[in-house]
């Protein structure tokens, strides 16, 4: 249970004033935003200084996989701070070694070496660098409808509009269409058709780009921010086969989908596929201290056995972050958090979202697994026209803004992106909390329904 929330509007006003005076927010027009001043958080909830409590269906930015302020992880950070708060990455440090061991034990296949970063974008940067050096090639293929981070290479690999303003810095990036049956670029009518046509399109792209020029193909195992589009059966295995045939490094981005989010430790397990490189962050320690990394196959690790790897970070494998990761993984094991995410998705959240779709004409499609779901909101179910235009802002985005406001009024903090709302609560969310969230979504969707035709 979360503690009783005692309103303190004066303190909240001071926090808001300091923020507006000095904090420069990401992805925002600074003069047009009004960030909520947060007073505290615990478990699946957070609250403001006015005494309003919100059920967080965003998990922060899809990273608080064990909720806020888990006492065992907080205690581990405190204990590590008293023992060894920081140390340079060139040394062997017990908590860093243990974090790497625990992560490697859970990654698929032979991904047994861990390169630590501060977050997901840096993990992608380094995975691409490793692939280019390993192959001696320069091109990297990435999908439209993807997000890989906001650093130089990662933002250029990204396939959503946040790339557009910075689309100058990474020569050799080539984009292709990954499968998405609901809005198929291949005019497919079944998952089998979508899979076959998407793989044929990828093969054509490789042929025309020149197989000998392509270092890597990078895919989110299950694309997150772009819409939680679970790939059809056989697709990722098909990409693996293509990569093997042409000597291309296969990179899976599990920054968002990893560490229990889809009901397995890594989403790749659902598809029985092992990449050459796997990037992670977010859920590895529920974001309590920034941490990310690359899990590296034996073949690629061997490239740098006697050849120095030209990359590094001052805070790589930071002891506080690694202590949080060790504690988080133990919590997930001891409290069966991964199993809970799978059960919730199969028996509570998935069925509940599908029931909402039956009642609300604004819901075009429900898709997801575990605690990783999206509702595709539409103006018209027959035409599948999105509720708001692609990359809408201002008045054009009013229907989604109204939906989000209604959800917050009902005590739910939603994850809204373009014409979608995502249901991505903590992996240890309870049945009762899911019921509360579904009720709030039910009420908010009546607002979206007003904009259907």
Residues in the chain: 453
Confidence of residue 302 (pLDDT cuts 50, 70, 90): very high
pLDDT at 170: 63
pLDDT, tens only, 167-191: 776 678 999 999 999 999 999 999 9
Those residues with Cβ within 8 angstroms of residue 152's Cβ, 6 or more apart along the chain or in another chain? 125, 166, 169, 170
Return the axis-axis angle of helices 235-246 and 191-209, rounded to nearest 10°.
20
* Interval 406-434 mean pLDDT: 98
Confidence of residue 94 (pLDDT cuts 50, 70, 90): very high
Residue ranges, comma separated, of all CATH 3.40.640.10 domains in the chain are 71-334
**Contact present, 294 and 117 (Cβ < 8 Å):** yes
**Contact present, 89 and 312 (Cβ < 8 Å):** yes
pLDDT at 161: 87
- Rg over CA atoms, the chain: 22
Q: How far apart are CA 285 and CA 306, in angstroms?
A: 32
pLDDT, tens only, 149-168: 988 888 888 888 888 887 77
Q: How far apart are CA 25 and CA 156, in angstroms?
A: 21
Query: Is the pLDDT reported for residue 429 higher than 80?
Result: yes
Query: Is the pLDDT reported for residue 268 higher than 70?
Result: yes
Arithmetic mean of pLDDT over the chain: 96
Class of 9-66+336-449 in CATH: alpha beta
pLDDT at 163: 85
* Interval 256-270 mean pLDDT: 98
DSSP H stretches of helix in 317-409: 319-334, 337-343, 350-359, 398-409
Fold type of domain 71-334: 3.40.640
The tokens describing 382, both together, are 């027959």
Q: E strands of 101-247, at which residues?
A: 113-117, 139-143, 173-176, 214-220
pLDDT, tens only, 381-409: 999 999 999 999 999 999 999 999 999 99
Distances (CA, A) of 271 to 3, 362, 371: 41, 31, 17
Task: Report the helix count and the strand count for the chain, using DSSP H and E.
Answer: 15, 16
pLDDT, tens only, 105-149: 999 999 999 999 999 999 999 999 999 999 999 999 999 999 999
pLDDT at 152: 85
Which range, of 25-39, 167-181, 269-283, averages the lowest pLDDT? 167-181
| Number of CB atoms found within 10 A of residue 143's CB | 24
Query: Is the pLDDT reported for residue 1 higher than 60?
Result: no
Those residues with Cβ within 8 angstroms of residue 135's Cβ, 6 or more apart along the chain or in another chain? 215, 216, 247, 248, 249
Distances (CA, A) of 288 to 168, 242, 335, 441: 33, 38, 18, 28
* Sign of the C-alpha dihedral computed for residues 373, 375, 381 and 384 taken in this order: negative
pLDDT, tens only, 6-22: 899 999 999 999 999 99
**Contact present, 287 and 453 (Cβ < 8 Å):** no
pLDDT at 165: 82
Query: Is the pLDDT reported for residue 450 higher than 80?
Result: yes
Tell me, yes or no, if the pTM score tops 0.75: yes
pLDDT, tens only, 315-365: 999 999 999 999 999 999 999 999 999 999 999 999 999 999 999 999 999
Residue ranges, comma separated, of all CATH 3.90.1150.10 domains in the chain are 9-66+336-449
* Interval 38-56 mean pLDDT: 97
Query: Is the pLDDT reported for residue 90 higher than 70?
Result: yes
Query: Is the pLDDT reported for residue 244 higher than 80?
Result: yes
Query: Is the pLDDT reported for residue 2 higher than 60?
Result: no
Strand 139-143 and strand 173-176: pairing?
parallel
pLDDT at 169: 60
């Amino acid at each position: 249970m979360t503690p009783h929330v005692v309103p303190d509007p004066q303190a909240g006003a001071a926090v808001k004033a300091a923020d507006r005076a000095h904090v420069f927010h990401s992805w925002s027009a600074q003069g047009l935003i009004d960030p909520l001043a947060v007073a505290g958080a615990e478990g699946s909830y957070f609250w403001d200084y006015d005494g309003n409590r919100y059920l967080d269906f965003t998990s922060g930015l899809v990273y608080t996989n064990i909720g806020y302020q888990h006492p065992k992880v907080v205690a581990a950070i405190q204990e590590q701070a008293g023992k060894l708060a920081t140390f340079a990455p060139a040394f062997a440090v017990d908590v860093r070694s243990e974090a790497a061991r625990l992560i490697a034990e859970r990654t698929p296949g032979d991904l047994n070496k861990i390169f630590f970063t501060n977050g997901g974008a840096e993990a992608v940067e380094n995975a691409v660098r490793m692939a280019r050096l390993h192959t001696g090639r320069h091109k990297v293929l990435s999908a439209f409808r993807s997000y890989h981070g906001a650093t130089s290479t990662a933002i250029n690999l990204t396939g959503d509009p946040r790339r557009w303003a910075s689309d100058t810095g990474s020569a050799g990036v080539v984009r292709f269409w990954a499968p998405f049956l609901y809005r198929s670029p291949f005019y497919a009518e079944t998952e089998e058709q979508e899979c076959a046509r998407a793989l044929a399109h990828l093969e054509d792209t490789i042929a025309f780009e020149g197989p000998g020029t392509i270092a890597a193909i990078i895919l989110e195992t299950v694309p997150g921010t772009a819409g939680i589009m679970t790939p059809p059966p056989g697709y990722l295995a098909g990409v693996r086969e293509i990569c093997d045939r042409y000597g291309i490094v296969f990179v899976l981005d599990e920054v968002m989908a990893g560490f229990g989010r889809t009901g397995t430790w890594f989403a790749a397990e659902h598809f029985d596929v092992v990449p050459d490189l796997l990037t992670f962050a977010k859920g590895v320690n529920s974001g309590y201290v920034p941490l990310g990394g690359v899990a590296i196959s034996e073949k690629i690790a061997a490239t740098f056995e006697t050849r120095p790897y030209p990359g590094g970070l001052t805070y790589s494998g930071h002891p506080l972050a690694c202590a949080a990761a060790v504690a988080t993984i133990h919590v997930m094991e001891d409290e069966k958090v991964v199993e809970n995410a799978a059960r919730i998705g199969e028996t509570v959240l998935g069925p509940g979202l599908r029931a909402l779709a039956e009642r609300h004409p604004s819901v075009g499609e429900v898709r997801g697994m575990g605690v990783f779901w999206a509702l595709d909101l539409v103006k018209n179910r027959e035409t599948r026209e999105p509720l708001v235009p692609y990359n809408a802002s201002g008045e054009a985005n009013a229907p989604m803004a109204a939906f989000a406001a209604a959800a917050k009024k009902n005590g739910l903090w939603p994850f809204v992106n373009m014409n979608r709302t995502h249901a991505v609560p903590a992996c240890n969310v309870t049945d009762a909390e899911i019921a509360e969230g579904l009720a709030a979504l039910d009420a908010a969707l009546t607002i979206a329904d007003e904009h259907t035709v």
